Structure 1
């Protein structure tokens, strides 16, 4: 009888399975072996599932493709003397209130180029919802349009839209306004954040990060701004007059992606995001507070404790951020200091601040005011060049709230200082009180020749900002 090779292989396979069946039958007759096998089989199965899960699980990278900052028209410019003149004529305020605002502006670190919306340059100043919508359209539409055009993005390809504006939250929402203007998809995920203060920009990044990691291969647009019109304070309470003096118009639009193919076009990759909320503490909660004054006029008061509260929030934030970014040498020194402190061993240092210059190449500190920038510079032992972007942003654009850190990053890029592999730390503070940090790593060298809000006069910076600028009211 002739048997081909396939038949022989089939016979061998049958014999093998028959032998295994006989062996398995004899083994399973032993109870101890059944227990032993079941126990180890469970362990091996669990271990296998863990290995399989880890092999399948891959960290989803979040890329920053591009961002744009709002450039107000020249006729939005509001020199100090004009600002005070408008304040006097509009509010008919007393001499003390006017003198207080003069003092604040002298120490603000602002130039004569900071801007306010056109609707606030009219007399009487029109505080209305329609004026606020006009302001929102001017800032938001401009930045989103520039962002989409620069990157050749079809509005219908945007999957997630997040807008943060703390003090204005109309109906329909600002995000709905953008969807309507750019005719975005009906299934786009939209979010409108309000009441989150100047740190809302990083909060929006945090929300986008979580959404992009769940909804992979998606694009997200974030718009960070603060609308000034309806929040102008018309009373005489000094702590509430501060907001009129410190805040100026501005905004930024940011394009994020979780698509693998976008890495080759990305500017940055998100490394870390750390959020600190101190609202459980009464002093922190009340230091920036919206309320009515004794004359029932609505305003936002800024407490004298704000700088101290910001310092405490920063310390709590960097205690969480430090282990993620600092080199081992700095973490070791900090650990030794804490051990000495716990064991009450005499030490010349009251507090050891790690050297964050070893972890970051660039710093974007929220341009909330000169005192905030100087306080962080001192506490973190930074150099003048480390806070240059923050000081120049405050000088030229003023405090633009949550968008200020993007004007600062734009300054660094336009100066040609951002190189591949550099890491940048964005620090923002906000009411509540909150301190939030975002760490970005530069993926590719950034071309400084691309047109930005700084391009037309970047060669003029940095410049020396006087400690106090005299304001001529004659």
Structure 2
């Protein structure tokens, strides 16, 4: 099963990304990669959704129940009824007295049914509930608590002044004029407002008054610990207070922070600060990028679902640390992180206790994790290292958007069978079969060409075309598609260049090679006609992108930047207002790394689909009809991280917001 891509079948040549060559974004887009979304990914989704053992147990219970009803109410078995009741009484009496009695076949059937029902009940995993979650919101931000004063608002002019004054310990300036111009350009086009915050270690008054001492005194371990404590502790305090939970009642603690991994760990800092129990199971996740929050939730959920952790609570804390990772060099691919990342933290209280269901806000339905680290290009897409001058920072690859798109396609390949309705899955399947038949890739031997001709006629039927996504294109565009096909062979000496390109919007669809040569004046051959027809059909019958809004009501996309949000919106064909919570979160808080999806969910809980009205230039609700987060709604969280990873979590609201 394939998800939308630009090349198919034998056209894709094997490429593992091995070697030291660094490719540009254009070169990456032109690679004929082995398709990432394989059949294994689809089967993984169905395997998680369908439990064959549970199905067989249910069928056995139903059959045994039907057979026992037959034995009890069969007209020809009235005499056996009396014997049944008598044997039941004898069995109860024998059990009380400890005597050895006899049980009829009917009782055996009933006991088997009870036993299977017990096994089925014990196999059920406990629900993983999100009791509540809280984020750190500065007092200067809408909705921030007045006591949250840690951090400094990133005013554009102050950011530029601090950056211009920054210098190394030897007094040499950190940034050149070109680097300053680049940062100003990125800052003013980032769609991040001036209410997002930086740690005091970077934006203190001393950063301008005495910049030489900042690198020695503030941008060190002490400043990083201070930043972590200011953000994490306040978020944990808020969630424990909101849920009226004592810190000693927490059984599992999971903390994730990608770039700051001190000893003792961040989880130990929380245990020490809140005086948690000595037997609390703590985990500290580091180096896992902006998608680590879903990884932390997945870890906590698996622990809560295990038989060893019954009636337990898990505290998950997601944060990032900027103090020691504010890049002070001039490499543009590393300077991006200075302009996009901001301070933030989120704390979530999960539980598998039945008593917590009445007050829980959400229930975890699915988590799907995708890792593309087997490819060197994907592995180095987000890479912490030193630049040519020895200054440490995080380098963002030029082809990171294409890599993120490929990771998303593979992730939703596994997620689709779990959440998409059957109608959407059938439309995708029929579209896939039609495209393969049109390209002659269906293994039917000599019937390939007749089958392709038949499908070409069938897809033009309006009712069929509407189901599989057939969209006729105007004649002038069809002629352009024909002219763009590659003419192979000939002896006139003109070279033929083969290439591939992706659309600027990032939509996954098949495209045609861009370079051509002059065609001979003679009439086109049948092979050339077939290629022209294939070029037109590639546009008229593109890969079907399922309508995910039929599976979920809300989508939270990691606020990696404006380009990331735009790419997800285009790739998934989402209505413009759906990702307004992500855009509003980017505007207010910036890229707060793994905690970003929780800031977005918080905004959805506050404003519903009216998030676009909270910022200038936002998209209002469709037809002006506002809607709040309701009980039963499903929320899809998507996050990308270093490695390269794409992770998804799907939640269901348990109450109106």
**Category of TM-score, reference length = shorter chain:** 0.7 to 0.9
Aligned to 1:298: 392
Structure 1 residues 110 and 217, CA gap change in structure 2 (3 angstroms): same
Q: CA RMSD in A?
A: 2.2
The structural deviation recorded for 1:196 is 0.3
Aligned to 1:156: 248
The structural deviation recorded for 1:73 is 4.7
Aligned to 1:407: 599
1:54 aligns with 2:120: yes
Aligned to 1:179: 271
Instruction: List per-residue Cα deviations over 1:339-391 (Å, max 9, x = no partner).
Output: 22333256523321100011111110101100000000011111121010000
The structural deviation recorded for 1:52 is 5.0
The structural deviation recorded for 1:66 is 0.4
Structure 1 SS opposite 2:179: helix
Cα distance in 2 for partners of 1:171, 1:18 equals: 65
Structure 1 residues 77 and 320, CA gap change in structure 2 (3 angstroms): same
Aligned to 1:310: 404
Structure 2 SS opposite 1:264: coil
Structure 2 SS opposite 1:163: strand
2:317/2:348 contact within 8 Å kept: yes
Q: Give 1:113's match in structure 2, choosing from 181, 186, 195.
A: 195
Aligned to 2:227: 135
Cα distance in 2 for partners of 1:64, 1:404 equals: 17
Structure 2 SS opposite 1:269: strand
Aligned to 1:338: 432
Structure 1 SS opposite 2:358: helix
The structural deviation recorded for 1:19 is 13
Q: Give 1:327's match in structure 2, choosing from 390, 415, 421.
A: 421
Structure 2 SS opposite 1:340: helix
Instruction: List per-residue Cα deviations over 1:88-128 (Å, max 9, x = no partner).
Output: 11032211101111111122111111110111113124210
Aligned to 1:460: none
Choose between structure 1 and 2 for higher RCO, CA contacts under 8 A separated by at least 6 residues: 1
Structure 1 residues 351 and 131, CA gap change in structure 2 (3 angstroms): same
Instruction: List per-residue Cα deviations over 1:115-145 (Å, max 9, x = no partner).
Output: 1011111312421000000001100110001
Cα distance in 2 for partners of 1:96, 1:49 equals: 75
Cα distance in 1 for partners of 2:400, 2:273 equals: 38
Q: Give 2:160's match in structure 1, choosing from 65, 70, 84.
A: 84
Cα distance in 2 for partners of 1:55, 1:439 equals: 24
Structure 1 SS opposite 2:254: strand
Aligned to 2:588: 396
Aligned to 2:326: 232
2:435/2:541 contact within 8 Å kept: no
The structural deviation recorded for 1:53 is 2.8
Structure 1 residues 18 and 98, CA gap change in structure 2 (3 angstroms): closer
Aligned to 2:579: 387
Aligned to 1:199: 291
Cα distance in 2 for partners of 1:88, 1:443 equals: 50
Aligned to 2:643: 432
Structure 1 SS opposite 2:119: helix
Cα distance in 2 for partners of 1:147, 1:249 equals: 18
1:96 aligns with 2:178: yes
Instruction: List per-residue Cα deviations over 1:252-305 (Å, max 9, x = no partner).
Output: 000100011111111011011100101111211111101111111111100111
Cα distance in 1 for partners of 2:200, 2:418 equals: 44
Cα distance in 2 for partners of 1:80, 1:349 equals: 47
Cα distance in 2 for partners of 1:287, 1:87 equals: 26
Instruction: List per-residue Cα deviations over 1:444-465 (Å, max 9, x = no partner).
Output: 112xxxxxxxxxxxxxxxxxxx
Cα distance in 1 for partners of 2:564, 2:634 equals: 22
Structure 1 residues 421 and 294, CA gap change in structure 2 (3 angstroms): same
Give the TM-score normalised by structure 1: 0.83
Give the TM-score normalised by structure 2: 0.60
The structural deviation recorded for 1:326 is 0.7
The range that moved more, 406-415 or 52-61, is 52-61
1:419 aligns with 2:630: yes
- Aligned pair count? 410
2:384/2:392 contact within 8 Å kept: yes
Gaps of 5+ in 1: 1-8, 21-40, 447-474
The correspondence of residues 147-296 of structure 1 with structure 2, limited to 5 A, is 147-214=239-306, 215-296=309-390
Structure 1 residues 179 and 383, CA gap change in structure 2 (3 angstroms): same
Gaps of 5+ in 2: 1-89, 103-107, 141-150, 168-172, 440-451, 457-536, 609-627
The structural deviation recorded for 1:18 is 12
Cα distance in 2 for partners of 1:71, 1:298 equals: 29
1:72/1:250 contact within 8 Å kept: no
